[in-house]
Amino acid sequence: MVRFENVGMRYGMGPEVLRDINLHLAPGSFHFLTGPTGAGKSSLLKLLALSHRPSRGLLTLFGQEVNSLKREDLPAFRRKIGVVFQEFRLLNHLSTLDNVALPLRIAGADEEQIYKHVTELLDWVGLGPQVDAKPPTLSGGEKQRVAIARAVINRPQLLIADEPTGSMDPEMGLRLMHLFQELNKLGTTVVIATHDLGLIKRFSNPVLYLKDSTLYSSRSDEYLDQYHRSSL
């Protein structure tokens, strides 16, 4: 599904914010991605979202090396990836419904189907009453749920979420984690960036952590042990 081989990444001419990343994500896996602020979590997710190119190394997505892809093939790849951005990136002048419908419209789905699916999903994430509201009038947690709904509406094969439950109460956070789990059971590969140790503890999925610009992986209990030992 996803393979990084000695991948490095930099912004423009700046220093490498990620280096020597080696990683393999099996189809249907569910990982947490963590690390201190500024460690490069969002940057790693940008590589996965096909919004940045690696500056070196090989990144393989869905069996294709990214740098060898033709530009006109990229949209088809991106449609298989759902992204929850850390800063949501909702379109402020569109209603909640139209924001969530965006991936379906872009993929050319039929309007009737779009309406049905979108309202169903919005009800499920508790935004039924807000279908016509515009993002600026929503609370932080509500915006986050709109962003999540938009990322999953297309049943993506790869779901990446950057701090998706940071702005909501724990109960709603758990509800959305269960949504991710459901999708994962249906075959979606999931990567979630988070600072929330409670979440890591509770769901005990394997943990990828960034330290000194490079990536390590471990089981969640090992990671938590290590974390507690180093902070003592």
Partner 1 sequence: MIQFFGRSNELQLEKDASSRYLPIVISSMVFLAALALAGLFSIHSAVENWSTAVSGNLTVEIEYEAPRKLDKKVKITVDFLRTFPGVEKVRPLSLEESAKLLEPYLGRADVVKDLPLPRLIEVTIAEGSALDLVATAKKLSDTVPGARLNTHRPWLNKMITLARSVQLLAAAIMFIIGITTVIIVIFAARTGMVMHQEIIEVLHLTGAKDTYIARQFQNYFAKLSFLGALPGLLIAVLVMQILGFLTSQLEASLITAPTMIFEGWIALAMLPFLVALLTMGTVRWIVMGSLKRMM
Ligand X SMILES: Nc1ncnc2c1ncn2[C@@H]1O[C@H](COP(=O)(O)OP(=O)(O)OP(=O)(O)O)[C@@H](O)[C@H]1O
Judged by CB under 8 A, the chain residues 81 through 100 that form the site for partner 1 are 83, 89, 91, 93-94, 98
Residues within the interface to Mg ion (CB under 5 A):
41-42, 86
From residue 48 to residue 87, the character string flagging contacts with partner 1 as x (rule: CB under 8 A) and all else as - is: -xxxxx-----------------xx-xxxxxx---x----
Note whether 130 and 138 are within 8 A (CB): yes
Beta strands 2-10; 16-25: pairing state:
antiparallel
Helix (H) or strand (E) holding 178: helix 170-185
Residue nearest to Mg ion (CB): 42
Please, which residue, 52 or 155, has the CB nearer to partner 1?
Answer: 52
Count of CA atoms in the C-beta half-sphere (13 A) of 132: 0
118 binds, among Mg ion, ligand X, partner 1, none (CB under 5 to 8 A by kind): none
Instruction: Name the token pair of 84.
Output: 């929850």
The amino acid present at 62, given as its one-letter code, is F
Angle between helices 111-124 and 96-106 (to 10 degrees): 130
135 binds partner 1 (CB under 8 A): no
Q: Which does 37 bind (CB under 5 to 8 A by kind): ligand X, Mg ion, partner 1, none?
A: ligand X
Residue 50 tokens read as 């096909």
* Strand order across the 16-25 sheet: 16-25, 2-10, 56-61, 64-65
Binding-site size, partner 1 (CB under 8 A): 24
Which C-beta is closer to Mg ion: that of 41 or that of 150? 41
Helix (H) or strand (E) run with residue 148 in it: helix 140-152
* 214 Cβ contact list (under 8 Å, min separation 6): 18, 19, 20, 21
| Least gap, CB of 136 to Mg ion (angstroms) | 22
| Amino acid symbol at 120 | E
75 binds, among Mg ion, ligand X, partner 1, none (CB under 5 to 8 A by kind): partner 1
Shortest Cβ distance from residue 76 to partner 1 (Å)? 7
Shortest distance in whole angstroms from residue 121 CB to ligand X: 26
Between 47 and 151, CB nearer to ligand X:
47
Interface stretch with partner 1, choices 55-63, 104-112, 127-135, 222-230 (CB under 8 A): 104-112
Residue 224 has which token pair? 């938590």
Query: Cβ 86 to ligand X, closest distance in Å?
Result: 6
In the complex, the residues that contact ligand X under the rule CB under 6 A are 11, 14, 17, 35, 37-43, 86
Q: Are strands 158-162 and 81-84 parallel, antiparallel or unpaired?
A: parallel
Q: Rounded distance, CA 150 to CA 138, Å?
A: 15
In the complex, the residues that contact partner 1 under the rule CB under 8 A are 49-53, 71-72, 74-79, 83, 89, 91, 93-94, 98, 102-103, 105-107
